[in-house]
Structure 1
Amino acid sequence: MASALAGDDLAVSVSSRRSWTTGSFREAWTAAPDVFNVSGRHTHEDDEEELKWAAIERLPTLERMRKGVLKHVLDDGHVVLDEVDVSNLRLHDKKVLIDSILKIVEEDNEKFLRRLRDRVDRVGIEIPKIEVRCENLSVEGDVYVGSRALPSLLNVTLNAFESVLGIFHLAPSKKREIQILKDVSGIVKPSRMTLLLGPPSSGKTTLLLALAGKLDRDLRVSGRITYCGHELNEFVPQKTCAYISQHDIHFGEMTVRETLDFSGRCLGVGTRYDALVELSRREREVGIKPDPEIDAFMKAIALSGQKTNLVTDYVLKVGV
């Protein structure tokens, strides 16, 4: 009887030893869970961000387009999420937002532009593109030649008298007709840089002014200029394109920031607000949560009627 019990104890001991050995080998060959893996943890920051986004998504469209989330890094390294009104950003908030997307301009600007493009492409929104065409464009003008073309006081006086007499047909004009452009045709395709080359006085500036709809009314123009099939008399070309002269003329009383803000208000936001509303609607339909920094930037530059715009800070950051 005692020998039988001893045999049973020996069998149990051997069995437990085998079980322990098998378990040890299994633990040795099986990878332990990585406790430092960020993707496996749900941090307090993620929970806070989810709650703030959920609160913003429940707002009406008009209010939702004015709300964003900014991340602030405290001195102790902790990250705090703040809900901000992008239509009334403080100077500190603007600096935090611009610095977060453009830490190093030479490296981050292209990444930032790609992030903007990726957000739009992700929901299948087509960015409006403009194709400019000119067909058989000719421009003629009447000018003085020789010594009469010099901008002297005598010539200005004679020109004024001749202009008055010419109105009543009392004196023939001494101007000569000059052909500036003759039967010019071409296409400026969207998303493609175009280089215009030519010798001096070949009509490069006149062509650009014609495409921008800013030619002098005294010039005689023939031919056809279209923007996506629409002629210049069907819309306001100054809201679609701009001609920038090689002579920069600025108000001496205005700073660079004030000049950029003034130019931005004259130009307006265009279709940015409507496009952002459609973008937000499509993201809600498919359950996409946008990047907080990109979302705040796009909302800030899409609001009209602001005295200063975040675009000014972006231009100064990139240009300086």
Structure 2
Amino acid sequence: MEVVGGIMAASLRRTGSAWRSASNRDVFSRSSRDEDDEEALKWAALEKLPTYDRIRKGILSGSQGGREVNIAELGLTERNMLMERLVRIADEDNEKFLKKLKNRLDRVGIENPTIEVRFENLEIHADAFVGNRGVPNILNFFTNKIEALLNALHILPSRKVPLTILHGISGIIKPNRMTLLLGPPSSGKTTLLLALAGKLSKELKISGSVAYNGHGLDEFVPQRTSAYISQHDLHIGEMTVRETLAFSAKCQGVGTRYEMLSELSRREKAANIKPDPDIDMYMKATTLEGQEIVITNYILKILGLDICADTMVGDQMIRGISGGQKKRVTTGEMLVGPARALFMDEISTGLDSSTTFSIVNSLRQSIHILGGTALIALLQPAPETYDLFDDILLISEGQIVYQGPRENVVEFFESMGFRCPERKGVADFLQEIMIAPMQHLRFKSEQYYNTIKFKQPRSKE
């Protein structure tokens, strides 16, 4: 009987143990399901809100599950955690992050606006002063003999002489493609970039036309659509890097982000689509006033400025960040804005080749995935950086020597009798041949384009 009782007891213990383990599995599975159901209920509650309120609230992921938050009241810790989840390592995660943004738009059939910039017969003149501007006042105090001596020494009063900077050039800067602008000093690169961005000085005499998607610069405000990034670093030394970019973001505003997000939210609600919570939080934060720090943190990350974000920029009197970091701050000031067309002037000055490659690669990912437009002037880019570009625009003495796909530029110059030596970078080769006589290059260029017409392929990305 004792044996039978022992067997029954052992059986009961095994049964009880099995029941408890099964019960535990059911509890855990119910817990997981409950969390999913709870999150679904939170999204359903958000969808019932009016559009104005829905864009200002989101689901913030965390260790204790998602919770509904007011995005306008996000704290510093929450914003940092959000950016760490989206882009932990810029070189590895940035492309994945941009593709998530693009995928969210694609699911509801929304396309990012793109800009095609055309310039036709663009000619720019300036008045240059020739001679010694101080001589006329001095001559009043000298005798005729001294005046004759000055004339004999060719020291003449200053006079204005018309100078042509750009000679009636035409071309196209296409969206979804990055164009590299190359040319020797004083070739007109900066003037061309300023003209396309609508920032030329009023003292210059301009003829020809510049159009964005067929609209002339007098039909809209180009400064709200494009951004010119100068080769000169002008900052307030007492501000930190983070404060500088956040202030720039606040000044530039959000552009069309709010209208796009409103339409995106409406279509997702109609199609019963639940977006990625972190992507939703980021997009909503970049449209709201007071949350400029979110996109600021993103630009700090991809430009490698997060390590000095809270350091003062500095100037001649205040010790601050390095010259290369200042150059990246100059670039970041424009990237935090909503501009869709970027005109960048010598952004690699003071940067090593690896940093330049990283920044240009991040720009390339954004241009190809989100459909931007970029014309970037670089001084002797490394071969790896040169290969990131889709198109090349060569300018010399105010005239375009070549504009077209990067893959065809070597063939173009070979047809003109200029062969690129082996083991020589193509960018260095192009810079060297720019010193060739301009008339010869122009004649051969016209011959070449009369026989061969390039069709620029669209990016596969």
What TM-score bracket applies, with the shorter chain setting the length?
0.7 to 0.9
TM-superposed deviation, 1:146: 5.2
CA distance in 1, matches of 2:44, 2:127: 67
Give 3-state SS (helix, strand or coil) of 1:136's partner: strand
CA distance in 1, matches of 2:85, 2:222: 36
Task: Give 1:214's match in structure 2, choosing from 187, 199, 209.
Answer: 199
In the other structure, the counterpart of 2:61 is 71
Where do residues 102-113 of structure 1 align in structure 2 (5 Å cutoff)? 102-113=87-98
Where do residues 147-166 of structure 1 align in structure 2 (5 Å cutoff)? 154=134
**Paired-residue identity, %:** 57
Q: Deviations over 1:91-122 (max 9, x none)?
A: 11101111111223221111011000000011
In the other structure, the counterpart of 2:300 is 316
Instruction: Give me the TM-score of the superposition, normalised by structure 2.
Output: 0.54
Instruction: Give me the TM-score of the superposition, normalised by structure 1.
Output: 0.76
The one-letter code of the counterpart of 2:301 is K
TM-superposed deviation, 1:59: 1.0
Task: Give 1:263's match in structure 2, choosing from 248, 251, 261.
Answer: 248
In the other structure, the counterpart of 1:59 is 49
Find out whether 1:127 has 2:117 as its counterpart. Answer: no
Q: What is the number of residues matched between the two proteins? A: 261
Task: Give 2:260's match in structure 1, choosing from 275, 279, 285.
Answer: 275
Which residues of structure 2 form unaligned runs of 5+? 1-24, 139-156, 305-461
8 Å CA contact 2:115–2:212 kept in 1: the answer is yes
Which residues of structure 1 form unaligned runs of 5+? 1-34, 74-78, 149-153, 159-171
TM-superposed deviation, 1:308: 3.7
TM-superposed deviation, 1:317: 2.2
CA distance in 2, matches of 1:282, 1:115: 17
Where do residues 75-94 of structure 1 align in structure 2 (5 Å cutoff)? 79-94=64-79
8 Å CA contact 1:212–1:237 kept in 2: the answer is yes
CA distance in 1, matches of 2:84, 2:184: 44
CA distance in 1, matches of 2:277, 2:29: 19
In the other structure, the counterpart of 2:233 is 248
Structure 1 residue runs of 4+, over 6 Å off?
A: 38-41
Q: Deviations over 1:156-193 (max 9, x none)?
A: x99xxxxxxxxxxxxx9711111100111000111110
8 Å CA contact 1:72–1:96 kept in 2: the answer is no
Give 3-state SS (helix, strand or coil) of 1:314's partner: helix
CA distance in 2, matches of 1:120, 1:308: 22
Give 3-state SS (helix, strand or coil) of 1:317's partner: helix
TM-superposed deviation, 1:309: 3.1
Where do residues 223-234 of structure 1 align in structure 2 (5 Å cutoff)? 223-234=208-219
8 Å CA contact 2:118–2:211 kept in 1: the answer is yes
CA distance in 2, matches of 1:115, 1:139: 43
Give 3-state SS (helix, strand or coil) of 1:242's partner: strand
8 Å CA contact 1:102–1:112 kept in 2: the answer is yes
Q: Deviations over 1:121-162 (max 9, x none)?
A: 1110121111110000000111113555xxxxx58x99xxxx
In the other structure, the counterpart of 2:4 is none
In the other structure, the counterpart of 1:238 is 223
Q: Deviations over 1:43-98 (max 9, x none)?
A: 2321121111111111111110000111112xxxxx32111111121111101111
Give 3-state SS (helix, strand or coil) of 1:43's partner: helix
TM-superposed deviation, 1:296: 0.6
CA distance in 1, matches of 2:115, 2:207: 22
Summarize the Cα distance change of 1:41–1:238 in structure 2 as closer, same or farther, 3 Å threshold: same
CA distance in 2, matches of 1:264, 1:137: 32
Summarize the Cα distance change of 1:269–1:39 in structure 2 as closer, same or farther, 3 Å threshold: farther
CA distance in 1, matches of 2:189, 2:90: 33
CA distance in 1, matches of 2:300, 2:203: 39
Summarize the Cα distance change of 1:40–1:231 in structure 2 as closer, same or farther, 3 Å threshold: farther
CA distance in 1, matches of 2:106, 2:32: 29
CA distance in 1, matches of 2:88, 2:62: 15
